């Protein structure tokens, strides 16, 4: 969940730096089986990997409450920037449900699966907003024009939930269906907030200097996992302040944190000094799956990892040489949804995959 245009940005980072159904589990993980062509050597926790999209930039795919559909963002076909789509869990029935105007990001289903939420810039401008200023290096743009919207699952009856002159995006929903968590720049620093499903009772949860975002609730709704930067040195603080006043952020050092659903008891989980993002709780509540370049000295390769909530037990899950990210478990922990550049037709392509999870 991600920041505006998160999927395109992260896929672009990899490029510029470097240039559903069970079958018998009776093969070795040393090489992909003929009926598992998207599997990569070493991925002992994954089998029966299926590609649900084929071409374009597709990412941040999240399950409906009944786990029969996915909602995701994509730049595909004639689109100039991301719009929101839904599809069935087997990849069929793809349908654009956003307005087709502006740039969108970070979509999620509401309980009952008759409504969705997502962030969009279309109120300010129907065109795609300009890309960030690359003269400052590799940075993300936190567009002030983003607000969070509620709509019927077919995209109709659009209702605005946030209305501030600042970045409001990266919204996800508690699995128990009571709260939305999101990131906002309304207080001049990207912080995490919660609100009710109708947009009421908006509360700030984080208060430390640095970017806080990409938040997800645990399956029981008691905790929140998120990514954060914590500039400390004089050089880091100056760079951060110079960028954030222009709604820019340099995502080269992100760590994973957890806190209670009310913002209390914040704890740092990772301490890699690398770019770790897209964290999601395992259904057991004891582990987190996330994407990171922690094992790549050049910072080019992002893979999926799991780690215990106390920071122990780091394990690499995917072994793709480019990018794997945006993981999400089913409630029973038996399947994983994720985005990947594996086996893509173009370097810029990111596709959505499902896999069976093997403990």
Residues 8-57 have pLDDT tens digits of 444 444 443 443 333 333 333 344 566 899 999 999 999 999 999 999 99
Note whether residue 337 is domain-resident: no
Note whether residue 331 is domain-resident: no
Q: Which stretch of 11-15, 78-82, 272-276 has the lowest confidence by average pLDDT?
A: 11-15
Report the CATH number at residue 181.
2.120.10.30
Note whether residue 251 is domain-resident: yes
Note whether residue 343 is domain-resident: no
Number of separate domains in the chain:
1
Note whether residue 171 is domain-resident: yes
Note whether residue 6 is domain-resident: no
Note whether residue 333 is domain-resident: no
HEC readout, the chain: CCCCCHHHHHHHHHHHHHCCCCCCCCCCCCCCCCCCCCCCCCCCCEEEEEECCCCCEEEEEEECCCCCEEEEEEECCCCCCCEEEEEECCCCCCEECCCCCCCEEEEEECCCCCEEEEEECCCCCCCCCCCCCHHHCCCEECCCCCEEEEEECCCCCCEECCCCCCCEEEEEECCCCCCEEEEECCCCCCEEEEECCCCCCCEECCCCCCCEEEEEECCCCCEEEEEECCCCCHHHHHHHHHHHCCCEECCCCEEEEEEECCCCCCEECCCCCCEEEEEEECCCCCEEEEEECCCCCCCCCEEEEEEECCCCCCEECCCCCCEEEEEEECCCCCEEEEEECCCCCCCCCEEEEEEEECC
What tens digit of pLDDT does each residue of 197-243 get?
999 999 999 999 999 999 999 999 999 999 999 999 999 999 999 99
Note whether residue 265 is domain-resident: yes
| Domain extent for 246 | 57-313
């Amino acid at each position: 969940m991600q920041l505006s245009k998160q999927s395109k940005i992260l896929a672009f980072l990899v490029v510029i730096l470097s240039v559903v159904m069970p079958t018998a589990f009776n093969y070795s993980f040393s090489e992909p089986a003929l009926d598992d062509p998207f599997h990569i050597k070493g991925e002992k926790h994954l089998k029966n990997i299926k590609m649900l999209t084929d071409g374009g930039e597709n990412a941040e795919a999240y399950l409906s409450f009944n786990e029969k559909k996915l909602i995701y963002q994509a730049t595909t076909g004639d689109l100039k920037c991301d719009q929101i789509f839904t599809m069935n869990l087997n990849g069929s029935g793809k349908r654009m449900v956003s307005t087709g105007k502006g740039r969108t990001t970070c979509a999620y289903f509401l309980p009952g699966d008759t409504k969705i939420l997502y962030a969009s810039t279309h109120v300010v401008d129907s065109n795609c907003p300009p890309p960030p200023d690359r003269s400052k290096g590799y940075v993300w743009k936190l567009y002030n024009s983003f607000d969070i919207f509620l709509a019927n699952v077919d995209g109709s009856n659009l209702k605005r939930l946030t209305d501030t002159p600042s970045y409001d995006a990266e919204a996800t929903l508690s699995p128990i269906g009571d709260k939305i968590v999101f990131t906002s720049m309304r207080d001049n620093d990207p912080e995490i907030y919660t609100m009710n499903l109708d947009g009421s009772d908006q509360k700030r949860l984080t208060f430390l200097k640095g970017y806080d975002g990409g938040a997800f609730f645990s399956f029981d709704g008691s905790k929140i996992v998120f990514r954060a930067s914590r500039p400390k040195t004089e050089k880091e603080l100056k760079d951060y302040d110079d960028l954030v006043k222009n709604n820019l952020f340099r995502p080269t050092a992100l760590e994973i944190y957890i806190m209670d659903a009310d913002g209390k008891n914040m704890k740092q989980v990772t301490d890699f000094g690398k770019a770790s993002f897209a964290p999601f709780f395992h259904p057991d509540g004891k582990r987190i799956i996330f994407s990171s370049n922690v094992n790549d000295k050049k910072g080019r390769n992002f893979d999926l990892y799991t780690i215990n909530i106390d920071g122990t037990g780091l394990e690499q899950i995917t072994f793709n040489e480019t990018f794997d990210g945006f993981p999400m478990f089913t409630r029973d922990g038996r399947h994983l949804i994720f985005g990947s550049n594996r086996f893509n037709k173009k370097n810029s392509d990111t596709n959505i995959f499902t896999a069976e999870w093997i403990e």
